[in-house]
Structure 1
């Protein structure tokens, strides 16, 4: 993951990666078949690690909004060139060349985040912490918002640092989920 994040997949060679991890390029190709498969499997491994953290954060016995904020903190990159997000950017860049099975694997990862977000929105509404919303619809919008902001953070675009992104997302939640009717 660090090698991909540092140089990008295009500049990474199987021979160079093999030297870094103490394997021959032949062994890497035997296990991964291609750079795309290596990239996807690395992302799946990274997501498994992050999934453990996410499940722990969401299982805490705190208000739903605190868990929602923890979800967002796990989602948004820590800084430009965040290794986890670099994997996502590389895969999104290659998405057109991936086969259907690989795209299905990416969708499975996306849906795990989506299901957790929907569950938080439903729980928050049922407890009166959030107003009643169409949880599927709002979750789709939130993920698009997070993906857009996260891409900017990962790319290091000026004005898109993590703190500002977290503040924007918190404002969005306040405006969208507040149980008080702000329209009247």
Structure 2
């Protein structure tokens, strides 16, 4: 993951990657068949690790809003060239040329985040912490916003840092989810 993030997949050869991880390029191709499969498998491994962190954060005995803030903090990149986000950028970039089974595997990774967000929104509304929203539609829009901000952060566009993005997101969630009355 670190090597892909540092070099980008296009500039990375299987021989170079093999040297970094102590394997021959032939062994890498035997196990992964292609650089695209290697990329997707690396992303799946990364998301499995992050998914465990997300499940732990979402099961904490705190308010739904605090868990929602933890979700957002886990979702967004930590810094410019965040390795897990760099993997996502590489996968999104290659998605147009990917076959349907590959895109379906990618979608399943994205849907794990979506389902957790929908569940949080529904729980918050049922407990009266949030106003009533269509949880699925709200989750789609929120993830799109997070993806946009996340992309800006990971590529290092000037004008926004992680703290500012978290502030924008909190302001949006406060304005959109505060119960009426």
TM-score (norm. length: structure 2): 0.99
SS in 1 for 2:62: coil
Q: Distance in 2 between matches of 1:141 and 1:31?
A: 37
The equivalent of 1:91 in structure 2 is: 91
The equivalent of 2:56 in structure 1 is: 56
Q: Distance in 2 between matches of 1:46 and 1:53?
A: 11
SS in 1 for 2:31: helix
The equivalent of 1:109 in structure 2 is: 109
Given the alignment of the two structures, is residue 43 of structure 1 paired with residue 43 of structure 2, yes or no?
yes
The equivalent of 2:18 in structure 1 is: 18
Deviation digits for residues 48-107 of structure 1, max 9, x if unmatched?
A: 000000000000010000000000000000000000000000111111111111100010
The equivalent of 1:175 in structure 2 is: 175
Gaps of 5+ in 2: none
Q: Distance in 2 between matches of 1:160 and 1:79?
A: 11
Deviation at 1:130, TM superposition (A): 0.2
Q: Distance in 1 between matches of 2:20 and 2:79?
A: 24
SS in 2 for 1:80: coil
Q: Distance in 2 between matches of 1:92 and 1:131?
A: 33
Given the alignment of the two structures, is residue 80 of structure 1 paired with residue 80 of structure 2, yes or no?
yes
| Pairing of 1:131-150 with structure 2 (within 5 A) | 131-150=131-150
RMSD: 0.6
Deviation at 1:180, TM superposition (A): 2.8
Q: Distance in 1 between matches of 2:32 and 2:94?
A: 16
Say how many residue pairs are matched. Answer: 181
Q: Distance in 1 between matches of 2:90 and 2:143?
A: 18
Deviation digits for residues 134-155 of structure 1, max 9, x if unmatched?
A: 0001000000000000000000
SS in 2 for 1:43: helix
SS in 1 for 2:159: coil
Q: Distance in 2 between matches of 1:20 and 1:9?
A: 14
Given the alignment of the two structures, is residue 71 of structure 1 paired with residue 76 of structure 2, yes or no?
no
Q: Distance in 2 between matches of 1:159 and 1:51?
A: 30
Gaps of 5+ in 1: none
SS in 2 for 1:16: helix
SS in 1 for 2:19: helix
